[in-house]
Each structure stands twice: as C-alpha cells, then as structure tokens.
Amino acid sequence: MAAFELPKRGQRGEIAEYEGRHVWMMLFCMLAFVVLLGRLWQLQIAQGEEYHQASTENIIRQIEIRPARGRILDRKGAVLADNRPSFDVYMVPHIYLRHRSDETVDLLKEYLNLSSSEITRLDRNMRTNLGEVVVRRDVTRAQVAMLEEDKLRLPGIEVRATAHRYYPLNTVSSHSIGFVGEVGSEELRDVEKFGYRAGDFIGRMGLERAFEEVLHGSPGIDRRVVDARGNQQGEAQTRFLIGDYQLVKPIPGRDVVSTLDADLTLIIEEAMRSYAAGAVVALDPRDGSVLALYSKPGFNPNAWSGRLSSIEKSRSDNDPFRPMLDKTVSAYFPGSIYKIVASIAALGEGLMGAGDRVHCPGYYQFGGRRFRCWKRGGHGSVNLEKAMQESCDVYYYKVADLMGMDKLSEYAHKFGFGERAGLPVNNESAGRIPTREWHRKNSSEGYQRGFDLNTVLGQGDTLVSPLQAAIAYAAIANGGDIFYPRIVKELRNAEGELLFEFVPRVRKRVDMKPEHLKLLQKSLKKVVHEEGGTAYRVRLADIEVGGKTGTAQVAKIGVVRMANADKQMMLRDHAWFAAYAPFNAPELVVVVFLEHAGHGGAEAAPVAMRIIEDYFNRDRVSALGVKVGEEAMVAPQVRLSSAAELEAQTSQEAD
C-alpha cells in the first residue's frame, strides 16, 4: 500500500492562490447578481406600473370620454345652460416626449398660436403627469384641419370633439345660473376620489355649483389600438385585440329644471337698463318659488367658463360695483321697507292700536338730541296707516322708544331677517339684526339707547338682503307663511324622465293676529293707491299693488341734509321698493334694490311697477318667450354620449 504524500511547499502556495482567486470570483458574481436583482426590482416593482402603462399604451390607448353635462332649464323649459360641440387639443406625454423635435414644437406654436411661456407650462405639466395634457381648448375648424393634415409630424397630439358649456342669455341671470371652470391642480386632490380628472370642469357659482353632483354625469371609456407614435390602427386589428370591449358610453348629467322664469328675467333686464348696479328678487308668495334672482352688473358666463381673457378679468376686478358679487343674497341697509317689522311688533305688543296717533313736527326729541323725519315740515298727526303710507319716521321713532331694540329684534327674526333663508346658491348672507348684547360686544361705545331709533328705520347696523326682504313680504301677501326659497322644481334624465320633484316647504309661520295683518296689508296698499303715498305717482291703472318704498343712507347726514345729486356716487342713498300683486290674490312678490341710486319712491318704485305691469301683460310675456326660445336655439344641444357621435354631428354641421 502506497504511503500518502503531503503536498510540497510550492504546491501548497499554488492551492492557496487558487482558492483566493475563487473567493474573489464568487464575490464578483454575487455582486453582479445583486445589481441585476436590484435593477429587476426597480423595473418590475418600483416603476412597474409606469412601464406597464407605457408599453400597454403602445398597443391599446384607453381614452376617458367626458360626459355631456346636464342642462339647466327655466320653469317652462327654456334653456338657461346647455352644451355646444367644440374641438380640444390634447397631448399624450409619453408619446410626445419620445418623438419630440424642434419641428414638432414649431408646428404647435404656429398652428395653435402658443407662446413660449405656454410651451414651458406644457413641458412642466407633461413631466408631472402620466395622463393626458390639454394643449388648447375650443380651437377653430381651420386649426383642426392644419393639425390633421400634419398629424404624422405631430406624434402624441390628438384633436377631440368635446362638449363645452354654453349660456344663451349671456349676462342675464348669470349669478343664479352660474358658470363652470377647469379643476385646478390643488383642487384635484380633493375631488379626484369622486371621478374628476385633470382638464375636467366643475361648477363655480349658482346652480352650476349647487347641483354639481347632479349635472356632472359619469365618464365613459374609448379603447383604441395605436402604434408607437400614437396613430390609431384599423378597425379589424382593433376588434381582434379588444373585441367587444372597445366602447363604454358615458352617462350624461341630469337636467335641472329650475323655478326661474326666463321671460320675467328679460323683463327685469329691460326695466333695469338705466341703472348701473342693483338687484331684483321675484318670488311666488303662494309656494316660495324663486322666479328671478337678478344682480347687476352681471358677467358673461360664456367667457368665464372658457379661457378667460386678461381684459375680461381686469374689467371685472376693477369694476367698483363688483360684477362677481350676487347682490340678491348680499346684505345692505334696508331703509323704510323694514318698517313692517315695527308695525307688527307695535300692534302685537299692544304699544300702538289702529287708532293711536303720534304727532310729527318733522323731528323726534330724544333727550338732548333731535332725530329728524325725512319730511322737514312734518306729517302732523298720524296713525299706523298714515305713517306707513307717507313713511313717517317720527311714528316709528316713538315705537322704538317704547319697545326697545331687543323686542324689535325678536319680531325681525319672526319674519326671517337675521338668518339664512335656505337658498342653496351663492352663499347667502344672514344679514344682521343688532341687539343690545351685539352692541356691547361690537360697538366702540357699547350699547346706547339712541341706537334703537336708527334700527327701527332699517339703518344703524341693520343689514338685510333683497332675498330676505322678498320672503318677508311674501309672508305678508300669503297670510304669514315663511317658505324656504325653492329655486329648483325637478330633476330629469337626458331622456326627459322625471327623477325627483322638489315640493314647496314652509319653514315657519309669522305669529300675528289676523286683524293686525289686515291692517298692515291695508297700509301697504295705501302707499301705492292713495294720494300722499310714497309710490302713488307710479301706481298702475289696472293692477292693485301693495308695497313699501325705502331710502337707505350709506353715510351720516351731517348738520345739513344734502341732495343725492350733490353727493359722490358711492355716498348716495340706496333705493328700495318691496311689493306684491295683485293685491287681493297675490301671485308675484318683487323687491327692487338700486345701489346708490337715490330715493326709493322716485327710482326703485317705477322699476318695480314696470316689472309687475309687464309680467301680467301676457302678450308681452309671450313675445319675450319667443325671444328666449330663439336665444336658446343659437347653439345646438349636445346630448350625445360618445366622442364618435359628437364628431359625427360636428361633421354634419360643417357640411
């Protein structure tokens, strides 16, 4: 048996050197394997969704189809907000960036009139958005033709037929109807969970905002087979790869049928033509339906719903009468139309009876101070009827002196003043009905008894909106019911089927004796139809009206009373008139507020009377109805559910 021999010294060194090299080789292989695994993790896990989407979209493009927004109609079916066909240009970032060249940028700038800043904005949006980016909205047919002709040199650029919002009446009733605007990047984080995407539009004001969930609809999907440059492939290849799952139609938004009366709104527009600013509210006192919410100056919702020009924006921002403010739900000093509160309060508390009289020498002595009546020579001996008819301030100074501010506030709240009426649009103001406690907290000198005498006339710190005034006068007209203002009548689907009906709702009832209400109503009729009444000169021959004028000072009178014509525009009085008609069976309540226009009897009352007269003139209303219908037909209705259908309609119109 041969003896085992140990390796010689030289051989042992060779073995050790071999083992060392083997270790280094193993470490190198392991390191390479770890790097490979890391890269695979990055591609498959960390960026897997991104690359999967990019690779899939080289074959199948999934395009979201925006639904047609529901229409807004008036009570008779006239269209107040509709959709019109248009063309928008979109960019698919991953295709565009892969094939982008200087030529592509130059063509876009030339065809779409893009500035360098707009190109920079697009670049920024593309690198932060894996979805589509809107390049330009509402392009002309000539621009569409140029883009389609050079389609092969514009990879990732697509033109799509879409529906854009259209408002037939332009500025008329713009605040109550509202407008839509594109969802902002920060806003998108909040609404994305509700199905909104970049480029979608959302209601910004009025009914458009209040009923956004109803009007918006649900998007559909159009799946297309495309090549690496985004060019759509043939129908056969599409059917082979996708089958019957190519198109999921969107669900159009629901139609909102409002209680608004477009005919009446046009009557108001004509009656307000001579005045720069103000508001008119018209209600049906029988059920609280809102017939008109008119605020002036208005704005053009067609401009605000698209790409707003800098000129339009600057004009709005610099207008001292604030076109974007809805004056129908904003609060102002109400002046003498507020005297209905003190009248019912005095009767209800037993402070004044129907026959009780107060002598008016032209002022009311309160301690060491004289509170003046608007009529310098005074009204003589007046009871409630005459005080209301001639708007005697001294009578109401006496009531305030006897009653105090807190009791007056209690009755004001009964009529709905000092609280929101419940209108769902435009963030209505609650107004302000001051109390002693309010003055202790908010007035620099605390509560002073003289404040009562200012408050009773709707001055001092009293603030009331035209809507609140209309609801209060509707309660006088209907016998005491305070309704929730009903601005929407019903909801319907795109086929016209009734989905939901909004019924009238009484919020509360004014607690007053029938004989007190009858006395107040009689007094309001005398304001208009008996000589000496502050609206007597503008009475109507064939329609009996009950109403009250109001002139609200916006600055202190001073020692010498100054005529409105001599004051600076923004220091002139506000003019009010609140009325209902026909007197014996009221169907219409109208409140006119004219900002810095002067006296209520001379300015606001004639406007209200013209509105009432034209409203009950059926021939004129019918003629205006034809005008509304013609305006509504200027833009074709878009009730289509797919991009293909919209493109087909647009092509027919072009022919």
The mean pLDDT of 384-401, rounded to a whole number, is 96
pTM of the model: 0.81
Quote the percentage of the chain above a pLDDT of 70. 80
Task: Classify residue 102: in a domain, yes or no.
Answer: no
**Per the structure block, which two tokens stand in for 624?**
């205006």
480: left (phi over 0), alpha (psi -120 to 50) or beta: left
Q: Which domain holds residue 524?
A: 262-616
**What pLDDT, in 10s, does the model give residues 556-588?**
654 445 555 556 666 788 999 999 999 999 999
Cα radius of gyration (the chain): 36
State residue 231's pLDDT score: 62
Name the band, by pLDDT with cuts 50, 70 and 90, for residue 139: confident
In the predicted model, is pLDDT for residue 516 greater than 70?
Answer: yes
Confidence of residue 127 (pLDDT cuts 50, 70, 90): low
**pLDDT band with cut points at 50, 70 and 90 for residue 135:** confident
Mean local confidence (pLDDT), 419-442: 95
Position 506 in a domain: yes
Number of domains in the chain: 1
Return d(Cα 638, Cα 631) in angstroms, integer.
Answer: 16
Percent of residues, the chain, with pLDDT higher than 90: 53
Q: What's the whole-number mean pLDDT along residues 492-499?
A: 93
Would you state the pLDDT for residue 317?
79
Least confident of 243-247, 391-395, 445-449, 631-635: 631-635
pLDDT score, position 113: 82
Kindly tell me if the per-residue pLDDT of 549 is higher than 90: yes
Q: What CATH number is given to the structural domain containing 389?
A: 3.40.710.10
- The torsion region of residue 524 among left (phi > 0), alpha (psi -120 to 50) and beta comes to alpha
Average pLDDT of span 385-398? 96
Contact 325, 593 (CB under 8 A): no
The answer to whether position 303 is within a domain reads: yes
Distance from C-alpha of 440 to C-alpha of 618, rounded to nearest angstrom: 53
How far the first Cα of the chain sits from its last, in Å, is 110
Please report whether residue 80 resides in a domain. Answer: no
Q: Is residue 16 in some structural domain? A: no
The mean per-residue pLDDT over the stretch 218-227 comes to 74
Looking at the DSSP assignment, which residues form a beta bridge with residue 550? 576
Bigger pLDDT: 3 or 534?
534
Of 82-96, 451-465, 587-601, the range with the lowest mean pLDDT is 82-96
In a domain, residue 397? The reply is yes
Query: pLDDT, tens digit, for every residue of 183-212?
Result: 887 888 888 888 888 778 899 999 999 999
Lowest mean pLDDT among 60-69, 404-413, 583-592: 60-69
Confidence of residue 47 (pLDDT cuts 50, 70, 90): low
Q: Does 193 fall in a domain?
A: no
Mean pLDDT of the chain: 84
**Residue 267 or 184, more confident:** 267
Judged by DSSP in three states, 370 sits in strand
Mind listing the pLDDT tens digit for each residue in 314-354? 787 777 889 999 999 999 999 999 999 999 999 999 999 99
Choice between 43 and 524, residue whose per-residue pLDDT is larger: 524
Mean pLDDT, to the nearest integer, of 4-23?
59
Does 382 fall in a domain? yes
Task: State yes or no: pLDDT of 10 exceeds 80.
Answer: no
601-605 contacts, C-beta under 8 A, 24 or more apart: 601/534, 601/535, 601/537, 601/538, 601/549, 601/551, 601/577, 602/575, 603/275, 603/575, 604/549, 604/550, 604/575, 604/576, 604/577, 605/534, 605/535, 605/538, 605/547, 605/549, 605/577, 605/579
User: Rounded distance, CA 293 to CA 252, Å?
Assistant: 27
Instruction: Check whether 492 has a pLDDT greater than 70.
Output: yes
Per-residue confidence (pLDDT) for residue 409, from 0 to 100: 96
Q: Can you give the pLDDT at residue 638? A: 43
